[in-house]
Structure 1
């Protein structure tokens, strides 16, 4: 069974802080991280600081845009991920 993952990238705001933004086309430059687009996976990635490590940034980023995006998908039933999967972030 194929599972679609959501790509996110860290965008610098210029003063050493970052925001995680959703890259729906997987075309944005920079290091990306992949995760299941379901709220439990996103919350687990945030809690474990997996995004900070996967994106190789030095401090926890602002994840509000990611959380809002995934919650909107979940509310509209448009999610493509599966709740059955355990891993939250896939990076190399």
Structure 2
């Protein structure tokens, strides 16, 4: 055997909230548009991205630790209300699904 594995490697990213590594597909990409943090579900929006678990706990940790400011290398406040709304809507949709 050559030592190769046949399992496909998945790209990993670190959640800026809890600082745990996870598969890129398990995390929500966030980008900055103006002074707002915007969720990027498809991963196609231009610019630097930061990743967070799609859970309000991780979002709260990221906001409290000012992780988005460091990840995006910006000064000044960023509004994460749009991301919070997106996560709440996704959780509500998951609860009402059969």
TM-score, L = length of structure 2: 0.68
> Which of 31, 36, 41 is matched with 1:9 structurally?
31
SS in 2 for 1:77: helix
Q: How many positions carry a matched residue from both structures?
A: 73
The structure whose RCO (Cα within 8 Å, separation 6+) is larger is 1
Name whichever structure is richer in helix by fraction: 2
Asked if the contact 1:8–1:23 (Cα under 8 Å) also holds between the matched residues in 2, the reply is yes
Over residues 16-43 of structure 1, what are the superposed CA-to-partner deviations in whole Å (9 max), with x where a residue is unaligned?
Answer: xx10001111111111100100011111
Gap regions ≥5 residues in structure 2 = 1-21
Structure 2 partner of 1:58: 75
Gap regions ≥5 residues in structure 1 = 13-17, 79-92
TM-score, L = length of structure 1: 0.72
Whole-Å Cα distance in 2 between the matches of residues 37 and 63 of structure 1? 13
CA RMSD of aligned residues (A): 1.8
Asked if the contact 1:10–1:20 (Cα under 8 Å) also holds between the matched residues in 2, the reply is yes
Matched, 1:68 2:85: yes
Asked if the contact 1:8–1:34 (Cα under 8 Å) also holds between the matched residues in 2, the reply is yes
**Larger gyration radius, structure 1 or structure 2:** 2
